[in-house]
Structures are given as C-alpha cells and as structure tokens.
Homo-oligomer: A and B are copies of this chain.
Amino acid sequence: MPDFSHLYSINATHMKASTIRELLKLTQKPDIISFAGGLPAPDVFPVEDLRVAANAVFDGPARKALQYGTTEGDDGLRNEIIKFEAKQGVTIAKENLLVVSASQQALDIVAKLFLNPDDYVIAGRPTYLGALQAIQSYSAKVLGVPFSPAQDGFDMDELRRRYAEAKAAGKKLKYVYVIPDFQNPAGFCWSLEKRKALLEFAYETGLPILEDSPYREIRFIGEAIPSIYELDQKGANKGVVINLKTFSKILAPGTRIGWIMADPALIAKCVVAKQAMDLCTNVFTQMWLAEYMKTGKLYGVIESTREKYRVKRNLMVEALRRYMPARDDLSWTEPEGGLFLWVTLPASIDTEKLLLKAVEKKVAFVAGSGFYIDEPEHNSMRLNFSYSTHEQIEEGIKRLAEVVKEALAASGD
C-alpha cells in the first residue's frame, strides 16, 4: 500500500468524515428505528409524474439532454426556477441564478471562493454539519454564535460581542452562514425582526450572508416569513445575500439539483469556480425537472409534503410529551417546518454515550455534538421525523425515553 501522507495538502488534513454518515451505516439495520438520517419520506416522491416528465425528454430534446451543457445551467430549468421563485415573491433574472449539483455543491463553491486557511465563518451553535465540513475542507474555522433563548435567531448581542472580539484579535471573517427557516439540526425559525437585524449587521460589517434555505417551502404551521434575500431585495437591495435552494426536500434528493441566487457579479465568480469542479450539472436531470416543473405539479407535492410532515411532527411531539420524563432540564423544540427537532437533555447525559445504549434498544438519533466545531454541547440530540412511519415514531420515542430514564437513573440524576 503506497503512503501518500507526506504529499497530502493542508486541506486534506482538515477534512473530516461525517460521523453522521458513518453512523448512518450502523443504524441502517432493518430492525433499528432510526431518527438519525435526514431523509425525506420516500412516499412523497411523485414517481409516475416524474416518469412522464423523463419520457417527455426522451421524446423531445433527448440528444441535447445527453450532451454537455453550459456551466450556468439549462435555460429551460432556469426559466422554471425563475417562475417558481416569482410565485414566492422573489424576483430574479437569469444572471442572478446558477444551477448546482444540489446545495452541498453550493456550500463548497462559496467556501472555495471566500476562504483562506484560518479564515472564519460566523455560524450558529449548532448548525448544519455539511456546511461545517465544507468550511473545514478549506482549512477555515467557525466563529460560533449561540441562539437567543427564544430560539428565533442569533443572540444578536453575542454576535456583535464575538464579532468585535474576533476583529480585535485580528481574525479574518468572511461570511455569515445561517439557515433561517427550520434549521438543521434544531428546527429553529428566525423571526422577521432577527432576519432584519442580521441584514443590518451585514450592511454594517460588509460581510455577505450565506442564507441556506433547503426547508423554506416545508412550513406546516404558521405564515411564511420573508427570506433574508427577499428582505434585502425589497429593501436597500445591496445584494449582500447569497441564497441557496434545492429540490432535495421539496421534490427528491436523488436528483441532486439545487440553485444559487445572488448578485450577478458573485454568480459569475461561482460559474468560474464550478467549471473547475464539474463543468456542468447533470444535463438530463435538469431538462427532466424542467419538464416536470412545467406541469405545475410541484406545488401539489410541496403541499402534500407539508401535510405529511405536520402529522409526523405532531406525532413525535406528542410521543415526547407522553414518554419523556417531565423535568425542567429536559426539553425539545417544536418546529413549524422542516425535518428535525432538537432535544436538550439534563447536563449529566452525554448523548454520544447514550447513542450506544439506544442502538442496543434498536433506536437511533444523531448526537448533538456533531453540529458544533468548537466546544460542542454534549447533552443534545437531533431527531428526524420525516422518514419514519407513524408506528415507528410512537415506538421509537418510547424506546428512546426508556434509554434516557435509565441513563438518568444510572447517573443518580
């Protein structure tokens, strides 16, 4: 076996395998009830309508769909995305839009464009693991900001305090990463007030905001709040927000298609970066999704996804209320959208250790520590409610509560 270790880049030494993805392999045994993944419910995928759309590509522009495409993305798909965004109140032109191989590629592109080794990205504590991986893969770091007790966005005082401290220490800050709508992992949704405050912070500091919105359309309770991208656009319109969208949660992740919306000059930079990464996004799939979007049926799929996830979220919340010990230091978020909720356990419990006990009892979750780069909290867990069946949610939370009770008893807590 060759030893290339002396040849690897500094970046390579900073890349970390996702412990979540490694754990997923362990928890994919058929008899385990897993709340660990982040998978959409497969029964929402509109298989037959997608088949019709794929066959329309074979009937029509098949040879174009099988050929190389432009880095910017298929024109037909870009037109459909522009209409989709317009319906939600966001007006974009083609020059604001880049089709990407789903959001993770967008996270990679933005990280590559902005980050030198030891630069900092401001991000929530906790935040999406894939964003952390992209940042680390360029040897950059995260300045973590806690959320306010109301869980409606960053603690803005802490943001300003930590920003000032970092600047004073000579740290190079490059952008602010947020998932305002039903964030992964905790399900937090930013209030209008906090979105405006963050935009104001961006205007003051000159830092762009990377707004990741994979779950934005999956709101099942309450009214939509404008995205930060939209707030900027309809306000001072300074173009400081980079907004990431994807078909992964509103249609089907196996298609690996997403899009970046941003200022045209930044999109042009993203195009150059993407060229060296994969030349262009899967052309057939782009034309296939364009055909599907033309039918207008995506809106029905989103509506039915919301309905299904609302029921599952309610089932999980009710099961938590029913089975978990009632204590002031044991709580969970009750999100208005998305795929995840976040359980905070008494401080005596380490959820990484708890997971081993849970897997013995045939139930799995993700330990919260994976969603922090620095000083992780050890007493939290992420639960996914989109993928499991109703029966699995009931039975799985019951098992999980037993594991928690046993751990509390064992620690004498």
Residues on A facing B (Cβ under 8 Å):
1-2, 4, 7-12, 15-18, 21, 37-40, 42-43, 45, 47-48, 50-51, 54-55, 58, 62-71, 101-102, 104-105, 107-108, 112-116, 119, 130, 133-134, 136-138, 174-175, 206-208, 238-240, 248, 252-256, 263-266, 269, 271-273, 275-285
Contacts and interface: CB of A to CB of B under 8 A. Distances in A.
A361 B51 CA distance: 45
A199 to B, nearest CB: 12
A281 B62 CA distance: 21
Identify the 10 closest CB pairs spanning chains A and B, nearest first. A254-B283, A66-B252, A42-B63, A133-B276, A51-B58, A66-B254, A137-B276, A45-B66, A256-B282, A47-B62
A66 B39 contact: no
A277 B43 CA distance: 28
A269 B108 contact: no
A62 B44 CA distance: 12
B266 A9 contact: no
Given A4-B266, A51-B55, A112-B11, A104 B279 contact: yes
Given A2-B239, A175-B7, A279-B104, A66 B51 contact: no
Nearest to A2: B239
A265 B1 contact: yes
Contacts of A42: 63-64, 66-67
A177 to B, nearest CB: 14
Nearest to A281: B256
A50 B66 CA distance: 10
5 contacts: A1-B264, A15-B273, A101-B101, A101-B282, A255-B282
A136 B273 CA distance: 11
Contact of A45 (B54, B62, B115): B62
A45 B63 contact: yes
A358 B334 CA distance: 66
A256 B11 CA distance: 26
Contacts of A17: 271-272, 275
Contact of A12 (B8, B269, B283): B269
Contacts of A116: 9-11
Contacts of A174: 7
A148 to B, nearest CB: 27
A13 to B, nearest CB: 10
Contacts of A112: 9, 11-12, 137
A21 B71 contact: yes
A15 B113 CA distance: 9
Contact of A47 (B45, B50, B66): B66
A238 B283 CA distance: 38
Contacts of A54: 54, 58
Given A15-B272, A253-B67, A279 B2 contact: no
Contacts of A175: 7
Given A48-B58, A105-B277, A254-B283, 14 more contacts: A4-B114, A4-B266, A11-B116, A38-B68, A45-B62, A47-B66, A51-B58, A66-B254, A66-B255, A104-B278, A107-B276, A112-B137, A255-B284, A277-B277
